[in-house]
């Protein structure tokens, strides 16, 4: 690569960095300027198979949107949508309905009507397609596409102050496929964790969620269906880091962002 090519690459890299900084700063600043409260979808706690109209509710200033899920054991049987206080995000409550008690968890998000359904990866695929289709002669547009991709990857951690982690109740290998991992916003000063429950020398249980940093190194014993399990915790400190190794959302995002950067540089 000649001197002119090197200068072009340096200019492109600096442009990319500048746009990333600008977009990141904007993403951090705009939410803090909002004075209105969130508008969220509302549906009372009911059987998850029942349909619900797209009613909305206006939150109070100290509330965020949430999807609540009621479990009996490892089975997800009840669902609700609405507003909850921030300190309830990632927490669990024992609630009774029609004589049956449920373990209810709250998964939070920080945008209007964000508690309708899980976010689609369509926008990410679109951005990746834009990167792959870059014209080597249009470097400015390439830098803009790259910056948008990085903003998408950073935005989940910028919109909410607290960490985003996967949650699942204790389950055995036989019941892991009976429910899907859900994303929950952790309370302040909490990190993501993945727990393993051992019966003797065999790891037979797994669980995910949020916990205080100082609790990460503390194992404990739990009783489930008459059996005693020794539980250990593995903690991590970035969004979505406690997913299954085979379907790690974090690794997918890192791979895509790295691949996009390589594709961008190859165009030069």
Residues ≥6 apart with Cβ < 8 Å to 2: none
Pairing of β 63-72 and β 190-199? unpaired
User: Which residues on adjacent β-strands are paired with residue 196?
Assistant: 206, 232
Q: pLDDT tens digits, residue range 135-171? A: 444 444 555 555 555 444 444 444 456 778 888 777 7
Q: How many CA atoms lie within 13 A of 68 on its CB side?
A: 27
Neighbours of 218 (CB within 10 A): 11
What is the spatial distance between Cα 164 and Cα 186, in angstroms, rounded to a whole number?
6
Tokens coding 266: 């190859």
Q: pTM above 0.95? A: no
Question: Comparing C-alpha atoms, which of 240, 105, 242 is closest to residue 164?
Answer: 240
**One digit per residue, pLDDT tens: the chain, 268 residues?**
555 555 565 566 666 556 655 555 554 444 444 447 899 999 888 888 888 877 888 999 989 999 888 887 767 788 899 999 988 888 888 887 777 788 888 888 888 888 875 443 444 444 444 444 444 444 445 555 555 554 444 444 444 567 788 887 777 766 655 555 677 777 777 889 998 888 888 888 888 888 888 888 888 887 777 788 888 899 998 888 887 654 444 455 555 555 555 655 565 5
- Name the CA radius of gyration of the chain, rounded: 22
Q: Which residues contact 114 (CB under 8 A, 6 or more apart)?
A: 40, 65
Collapsed DSSP state (helix, strand, coil) of residue 99: coil
């Amino acid at each position: 690569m000649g001197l002119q090519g090197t200068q072009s690459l340096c200019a492109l890299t600096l442009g990319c960095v500048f746009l990333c900084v600008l977009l990141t700063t904007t993403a951090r600043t705009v939410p803090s300027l909002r004075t209105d409260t969130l508008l969220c979808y509302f549906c009372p706690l009911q059987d998850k198979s029942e349909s619900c109209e797209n009613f909305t509710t206006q939150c109070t200033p100290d509330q965020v949107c949430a999807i609540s899920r009621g479990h009996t054991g490892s089975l997800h049987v009840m669902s609700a949508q609405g507003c909850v206080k921030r300190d309830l995000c990632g927490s669990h409550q024992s609630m009774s309905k029609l004589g049956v008690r449920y373990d209810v968890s709250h998964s939070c998000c920080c945008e209007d009507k964000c508690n309708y359904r899980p976010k689609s990866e369509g926008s990410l695929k679109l951005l990746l397609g834009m990167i792959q289709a870059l014209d080597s002669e249009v470097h400015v547009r390439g830098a803009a596409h790259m910056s948008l991709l990085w903003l998408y990857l950073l935005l989940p951690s910028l919109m909410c102050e607290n960490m985003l982690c996967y949650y699942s109740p204790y389950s055995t290998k036989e019941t892991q496929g009976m429910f899907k991992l859900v994303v929950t916003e952790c309370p302040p000063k909490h990190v993501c964790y993945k727990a393993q429950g051992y019966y003797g020398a065999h790891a037979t249980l797994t669980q995910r969620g949020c916990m205080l940093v100082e609790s990460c190194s503390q194992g404990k014993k739990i009783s489930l269906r008459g059996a005693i399990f020794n539980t250990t915790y593995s903690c991590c400190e970035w969004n979505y880091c406690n997913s299954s190794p085979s379907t790690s959302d974090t690794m997918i995002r890192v791979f895509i962002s790295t691949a996009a950067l390589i594709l961008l540089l190859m165009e030069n």
